[in-house]
Amino acid sequence: MTKIVKSDNPISSILLKELTAMSAVTVTCCIHETSYTKKPGKYDFPTLSCQLPSQEHTVSPSSLAACCGSRGHTFSPATFGQNQRTAACFQQQQVFALDFDDTLSLHEVMDRCRQVQLPLSFVYETFSSTKENRFRAVFIHNCSIDSAIVSKIILTMLIGLFPEADKSCIDVARMFFGGKKVLYQHPQINDFEATFTVFELNTALIAYLSAVDSKNVARKIRTILSKTGIGFGSTFPFINEFSSEAEFFGMCQHTDFYQIKDLSKKIEEIRISSTLLVENRSTFPQFIKINDFYSFYFLVNFKQKNSFHVLLIQTHSTPLKNNNVSTVTAATSIRKKSQKKLLQDFPFKELPKYCQLYRSFQNGETCLDHHHLFGLATQFSNIKEGKTHFFNLLSSSANDDYGYNAHRRWDYYYNYLVSQRYLPRNCIGFCPYHDQCRPSSNMISKALIVRKEIRQTSQPHYSPLPDAEQELEQHLLEALDAKGKDIHLIEAQTGLGKSTAYLRHLDRNNTRKIIAVPTNKLKDAIVKSATDKGYCVMGTPSLPRDQMSPSLLKKVESLFQKGAYRLARLVMEKAVKRHPSPALSAYLEDDKKIFSFSGHLVTTHSKLFTLDASFLQKYDVIIDEDVFRTALRMETVTLQDLRKLKSKLPLPVTQAINLILRRLNRHPLTRYDALPPLDKACHDDLECFADKRLLTNALDFLRSEAAFLDKERLQYAFVQKLPDTKIVLLSATANKELYQKLFCRDIHVYETKEAAYQGRLLQYHDASYSRSYLAEHLDQVIENVRVLCPGNPVITFKIYEQAFCPEQELHFGNLEGHNDFTGESLSIVGTPHVKRCVYDLIGLVLGVPEKTVRSANLSSQPLERNGYRFWFHTFTHPLLREIQLWLIEQELEQAVGRARLLRHDCQVTVFSNFPLRQAILERDLPALPDHQSLG
């Protein structure tokens, strides 16, 4: 016997306690208390073998390396019951060792581990070694294995990975002598980074075999593991990693197991059992029995949060004969139930915006380890063209760090997870950035959304209301002080105090100003407020409708509708001479007086565009609220009226109209050059003609740029230019891109901070709530709104406003400038789409080519807007899409703004599938009493 030390105390208290206390990983194995400096003799062996099973110690990996590798203590990697070191008495094992007797060098072993990315815990030189030619490599699994079958599988796979190792190491009851010194120790030996998992070992073996002989990998791996009892997939062993019970159960549902009796009957029991296991990971490892022959074996993965491994194991004592499906009663192969359906048209270009791990992979920012790449590969394997995309990135110059054989190695990994029908891995199970991203189950779901889902993509930041008010004032002063004749667009929320701000600075820079607001009612309110503040202000007069005779009012409004504005004034002047009317006389006098008034003017959006350009040069113009729809007007004329008008027009104009009509007959949508201008005398004659002979607005057609023919009616669009002076426009909804294209002028945008609503905006997006949807479900929607929002006024389409609120006259299309619902809770029902021809005409006027507009398609597609991602039925062409979305958003925001949520604690409830800023989104309606919901 050649021992030099025999310890008087338990080994853990002398050598192990200090190191083990600081270790994240501990292992339990049998370590003999006797230390040797030479290989024990044949007379020592029986004593060691007999005593070893009773000497269990729980130690850190570094303590194990010091004790056995440096101090010569004999150990057994497994522990045993009944004090008998036999496979039949096996209890558990976490440590696995391989002997190399002058077959491979230490460098070659470490290099192979590095290539297949299998962590090696430590290596020590054995007593029989000379010049470090004999050594023992020790691998530590990341958790304890309590099945001798599974331990045997792991040892067999290690021998397959290192065929040069001593084959007798495959014995789970093997005893190993200590050594002379530690040759290698993992830098993080006491952390889980230095441990391996059975899943990593499986992929490492596949990678090694593919490097040795890429054509026969499947056959070789079956040969190596043929008698271990492991279940096989169509190609590879059923050793899989999951990050949730749903992933595991999903694989069970998408896979057929050949002839495994009772599996279909037990699938629900397996689901329940696996759920309990995953929720309580402390119960791992554990078998879930399928029948008397087969079980699933669950193992925890401490290396990754929420991750676990599952093996399909043959638990019957009779081994499989050659693992050949055709020669056994109950085989362990898995086959595909059907070809897996892959995701089509995946938006790879959008993915870097949502997935930081993908972005790191694409840009080569960091060299991802095997676990991260495998998690990414499970995403790509569920996408059509995913494999091509994955390997293009892997082979790109940005990813040179993955090595020259990365493509070949990962080709087999990829085929492995495809054959095993892997579902996309949950981000929590593999992604180091999962807690920095918005909540999402996997990488695919980050880039894809389902129908009716509205997903928030960014966390909004809201400023205190006083800060937003202060910034609005700063922007306004900057715009008022600016030189030149540009447009200054100040974006500010509804209710932030835009009118209050500009009324404080009307006299700034000693310039006269014209304020244009949406309605006469708001105009009068602004005039009163400005006058009360001591400003010299005059409002452009409003037609005194209530002071005019019905016949006169009808005549004047008819002329306005026909575009005969000059004639309308003449008719009123004649009426006053025949039948004096103080109110109408004052209107006509004030309408002239504005041109000589020396103070500030307040007018409406519509009136602003009728004022003479030379007159407006004297003023700075402040426009309150969006003026786009007033500047780009839509009118209608019948073909009959247009034919009548042609007879009174000069020949060049008639020829131009004939050309337009011929084009419209070929296609109902067209854009054309401006018609030749008319002199004043000719235009005056046309107004008289229109008064007598026409029913529709044919005169403004002479200013049009685009038209749409619908049977016998022609809808046309024309632009009213903003005055050539400095414009300060304050709006919650104005769109810079559309303004630039409409007015072809420099636009300076001032973005004001967004403040949080004091009130509450609740939005239900369970349906589209379009006109057609309401037409089909009107009674049900009315009842739902009545139950969910009792007593609320309702803003909706004009056609349905009487159905919701018979006494109300506020609907989509006439909302700007109305403050009737300030501080009141209200309901908004509908997604205010307009006719396709409106989008087309605006697109033509803004420069979209005629051919493009005609062929533009609408389809349901995922969008990102205002911090949300959602599906919406819209144009594929970007500018037409922007026009449509902006028109809808503008109308809904104007409707919400009527309650002034920014300053009042009330609730606005919206029923629409277009998400609004600051909305609390509800995908489904709450359960309503007596089954009143839409269902």
Q: Whole-angstrom Cα distance, residue 157 to residue 15?
A: 32
pLDDT band at 307 (very low <50, low <70, confident <90, very high): confident
Q: Whole-angstrom Cα distance, residue 805 to residue 815?
A: 16
pLDDT: is 13 or 507 the higher one?
Answer: 507
Q: Whole-angstrom Cα distance, residue 495 to residue 902?
A: 6
pLDDT band at 234 (very low <50, low <70, confident <90, very high): low
Question: What's the angle, vertex CA 544, arms to CA 542 and CA 547, rounded to 5?
Answer: 170
Residue 877 exposed, middle or buried by CB count within 10 Å (0-12, 13-18, 19+): buried
**Which of the 8 DSSP states describes residue 14?**
I
pLDDT band at 663 (very low <50, low <70, confident <90, very high): very high
pLDDT: is 241 or 697 the higher one?
Answer: 697
For the segment 642-648, the average pLDDT, to the nearest whole number, is: 92
Asked if 61 and 192 count as a contact pair (C-beta separation under 8 A), the reply is no
Asked if 381 and 417 count as a contact pair (C-beta separation under 8 A), the reply is yes
List, for residues 54-87, the tens digit of each pLDDT value.
999 999 999 999 999 999 999 999 999 998 999 9
List, for residues 86-115, the tens digit of each pLDDT value.
999 999 999 999 999 999 999 999 999 988
Residue 719, Cα to own-chain centre: how many angstroms? Answer: 38
List, for residues 675-722, the tens digit of each pLDDT value.
998 888 898 899 899 888 999 999 999 999 999 999 999 999 999 999
For the segment 810-830, the average pLDDT, to the nearest whole number, is: 88
Residues across the chain: 935
Asked if the model's pLDDT at residue 11 lies above 80, the reply is no
Q: Whole-angstrom Cα distance, residue 183 to residue 41?
A: 24
Averaging pLDDT over each range in 244-248, 271-275, 417-421, which range is the top one?
417-421
Q: Whole-angstrom Cα distance, residue 632 to residue 838?
A: 11
For the segment 336-354, the average pLDDT, to the nearest whole number, is: 75
Task: Report the 10 Å Cβ neighbour count for 54.
Answer: 11
For the segment 827-834, the average pLDDT, to the nearest whole number, is: 96
Q: Whole-angstrom Cα distance, residue 245 to residue 429?
A: 12
Asked if 270 and 288 count as a contact pair (C-beta separation under 8 A), the reply is yes
pLDDT band at 504 (very low <50, low <70, confident <90, very high): very high
List, for residues 153-173, the tens digit of each pLDDT value.
999 999 999 999 999 999 999
What does the DSSP assignment read for 165-227?
S-GGGG-TT--B--EEEEEEE-TTTTSGGG-B-HHHHHHHHHHHHHHH-TTSHHHHHHHHHTT
What does the DSSP assignment read for 491-524?
E--TTS-HHHHHHTTTTGGG--EEEEES-HHHHH
What is the share, in percent, of the chain residues with pLDDT greater than 70? 88
pLDDT: is 266 or 527 the higher one?
Answer: 527
Q: Whole-angstrom Cα distance, residue 925 to residue 935?
A: 9
pLDDT band at 496 (very low <50, low <70, confident <90, very high): very high
* C-alpha count within 13 angstroms, C-beta hemisphere, residue 513: 26
pLDDT band at 10 (very low <50, low <70, confident <90, very high): very low
Q: Which residues pair with 591 in a beta bridge?
A: none
Asked if 816 and 731 count as a contact pair (C-beta separation under 8 A), the reply is no
For the segment 873-892, the average pLDDT, to the nearest whole number, is: 96
pLDDT of residue 21: 57
Angle at which helices 148-161 and 198-212 pack, to 10 degrees?
Answer: 30
Q: Whole-angstrom Cα distance, residue 419 to residue 423?
A: 11
Residue 674 is encoded by which pair of tokens? 């401006």
Could you tell me the end-to-end alpha-carbon distance of the chain, in angstroms, rounded to an integer?
85
pLDDT band at 425 (very low <50, low <70, confident <90, very high): confident
Question: CB under 8 Å, gap of 24 or more: what pairs does 442-447 form?
Answer: 442/379, 443/351, 443/355, 443/357, 443/358, 443/376, 443/379, 444/343, 444/346, 444/379, 444/382, 444/383, 446/351, 446/354, 446/355, 447/346, 447/347, 447/350, 447/351, 447/354, 447/355
pLDDT of residue 716: 96
pLDDT of residue 286: 78
pLDDT band at 287 (very low <50, low <70, confident <90, very high): confident
Residues 6+ apart with CB under 8 A from 228: 149, 152, 153, 156
Q: Whole-angstrom Cα distance, residue 217 to residue 211?
A: 9
pLDDT of residue 433: 84
Q: Whole-angstrom Cα distance, residue 294 to residue 303?
A: 27
Pairing of strands 907-911, 286-289: unpaired
pLDDT of residue 806: 82
pLDDT of residue 292: 74
For the segment 118-132, the average pLDDT, to the nearest whole number, is: 93
pLDDT of residue 5: 44
Residues 6+ apart with CB under 8 A from 930: none
**Which of the 8 DSSP states describes residue 831?**
-
pLDDT band at 12 (very low <50, low <70, confident <90, very high): very low
Mean pLDDT of the chain: 86
pLDDT of residue 769: 96
Task: Report the 10 Å Cβ neighbour count for 460.
Answer: 11
Question: Which of 877, 837, 886 lies closest to 858 in space, CA to CA?
Answer: 877
pLDDT of residue 832: 96
Asked if the model's pLDDT at residue 786 lies above 90, the reply is yes
Residue 419 is encoded by which pair of tokens? 């054959």
List, for residues 547-597, the tens digit of each pLDDT value.
999 999 999 999 988 888 889 999 999 999 998 899 999 999 999 999 999
Q: Whole-angstrom Cα distance, residue 892 to residue 252?
A: 47
Would you call 325 helix, strand, or coil by DSSP?
helix
Question: Which of 462, 428, 432, 461 lies closest to 445 in space, CA to CA?
Answer: 428
The pTM for the full model equals: 0.70
pLDDT of residue 439: 63
The one-letter code for the residue type at 653 is V
pLDDT of residue 934: 42
